[in-house]
């Protein structure tokens, strides 16, 4: 197995062009190293960790620019993320153990494109944009288009994720990320639900409700029907119940060794209800009645 440590993005891209499917990009290594141990080695490893300036977290154009090499712990430690992107902060905070957070990068979490990736549903809800770069140029696209299937992204084998742009959520919005796993943060999510909303002027209804679901479809997904169901409405117990069931019906979870698809559906229902209730309470100061 060959090993490369490109010093620039263009050097990395030319290596990817040269080696195509044979190349595996590595940054934090928390997934790739495990894969190498348990399956066949890739033809070559392209370690992008040494490319400078790809780990910045800074304010930019009404939002936050995040470099893909920023570690999950750097997100967790960033005041900017904590104060302005609390949804992403919560996901980072519930992400595995500190040891993993210290080495895993947000770019790795995204490019792995595992449906259960902790930061993915929050990025969808935050309507963040991926900056993807190929040897012939760069473009930005929404993460909804970026994720194409389990382990599949629009990068293919020749692109690099070079930046993540997250717009600031509307002033006064509230968001929660709820993760369900047998062992809590120390485990891969069985279901992750991100809910973000604002309240109308007199705090009698929710506006712009966004719901993202992780680990219950081939890619992280939004739940648009459920979002439409509750947006512009006052939450009561019946509507919350309806919303939970609706979100479950918008998911398509699989059955595997961790749990049945049926159970994952129940959890989407439960966590969506919980997320909506928490947003309602935070935004209106009232319990859902």
Angstrom distance (rounded) from CA 72 to CA 278: 25
Angstrom distance (rounded) from CA 92 to CA 82: 10
In sequence order, the β-bridge partners of residue 44 are 2, 23
Residue closer to other proteins by CB (options 20, 261) is 261
34 binds other proteins (CB under 8 A): yes
Shortest separation between residue 98's beta carbon and other proteins, angstroms:
12
Shortest separation between residue 183's beta carbon and other proteins, angstroms:
5
Angstrom distance (rounded) from CA 241 to CA 63: 34
Contact predicate 66/164, CB 8 Å: yes
CA angle 77, 79, 81 (to 5 degrees): 85
Binding mask 244-263 for other proteins (x = CB under 8 A): ------------xxxxx--x
Residue closer to other proteins by CB (options 163, 265) is 265
116 binds other proteins (CB under 8 A): no
134 binds other proteins (CB under 8 A): no
Contact predicate 277/240, CB 8 Å: yes
Only segment of 68-76, 140-148, 233-241, 270-278 that touches other proteins (CB under 8 A): 270-278
Helix H or strand E encompassing 244: helix 237-250
Residue closer to other proteins by CB (options 167, 185) is 185
Q: What is the DSSP letter of 184?
A: G
User: Which member of 266, 278, 281, 282 binds other proteins (CB under 8 A)?
Assistant: 266
Residue whose entry in the numeric block shows the structure tokens 């993993």 = 100
Show contacts with other proteins in window 157-186 (CB under 8 A). 180, 182-186
The pairing of beta strand 2-4 with beta strand 44-47: parallel
274 binds other proteins (CB under 8 A): yes
Total residues binding other proteins (CB under 8 A):
22
Show contacts with other proteins in window 181-210 (CB under 8 A). 182-188
Shortest separation between residue 184's beta carbon and other proteins, angstroms:
5
Angstrom distance (rounded) from CA 144 to CA 87: 17
Binding mask 37-76 for other proteins (x = CB under 8 A): -x--------------------------------------
Residue closer to other proteins by CB (options 82, 258) is 258
Contact predicate 106/68, CB 8 Å: yes
User: Which member of 273, 275, 280, 284 binds other proteins (CB under 8 A)?
Assistant: 273
Residue whose entry in the numeric block shows the structure tokens 């069985």 = 190
Residue closer to other proteins by CB (options 64, 121) is 121
Give the residue from 9, 27, 214 showing the smallest Cα distance to 102. Answer: 27
Residue closer to other proteins by CB (options 168, 263) is 263
Q: Which two tokens mark 154? A: 């629009």
Helix H or strand E encompassing 140: strand 137-142
Residues that bind other proteins (CB under 8 A): 34, 38, 180, 182-188, 256-260, 263, 266-267, 270-271, 273-274
């Amino acid at each position: 197995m060959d090993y490369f440590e490109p010093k620039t993005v263009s050097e990395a891209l030319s290596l990817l062009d040269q080696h195509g499917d044979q190349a595996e990009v590595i940054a934090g290594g928390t997934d790739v190293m495990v894969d190498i141990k348990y399956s066949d080695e890739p033809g070559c490893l392209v370690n992008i960790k040494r490319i400078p300036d790809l780990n910045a977290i800074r304010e930019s154009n009404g939002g936050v620019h995040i470099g893909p090499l920023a570690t999950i712990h750097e997100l967790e430690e960033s005041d900017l993320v904590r104060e302005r992107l609390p949804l992403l902060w919560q996901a980072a905070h519930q992400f595995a153990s500190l040891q993993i957070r210290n080495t895993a990068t947000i770019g790795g979490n995204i490019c792995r494109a595992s449906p259960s990736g902790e930061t993915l549903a929050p990025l969808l809800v935050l309507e963040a944009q991926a900056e993807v770069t190929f040897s012939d140029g760069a473009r930005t696209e929404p993460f909804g288009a970026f994720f194409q299937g389990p382990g599949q992204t629009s990068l293919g084998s020749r692109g690099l994720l070079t930046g993540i742009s997250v717009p600031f959520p509307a002033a006064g919005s509230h968001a929660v990320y709820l993760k369900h796993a047998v062992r809590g943060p120390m485990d891969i999510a069985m279901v992750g639900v991100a809910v973000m909303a604002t309240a109308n002027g007199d705090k009698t209804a929710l506006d712009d409700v966004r719901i993202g679901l992780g680990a219950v479809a081939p890619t992280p997904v939004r739940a648009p029907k459920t979002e439409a169901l509750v947006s512009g409405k006052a939450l009561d117990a019946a509507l919350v119940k309806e919303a939970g069931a609706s979100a479950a019906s918008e998911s398509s979870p699989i059955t595997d060794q961790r749990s049945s698809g049926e159970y994952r559906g129940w959890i989407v229902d439960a966590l969506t209800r919980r997320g909506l209730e928490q947003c309602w309470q935070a935004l209106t100061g009232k319990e859902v009645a």
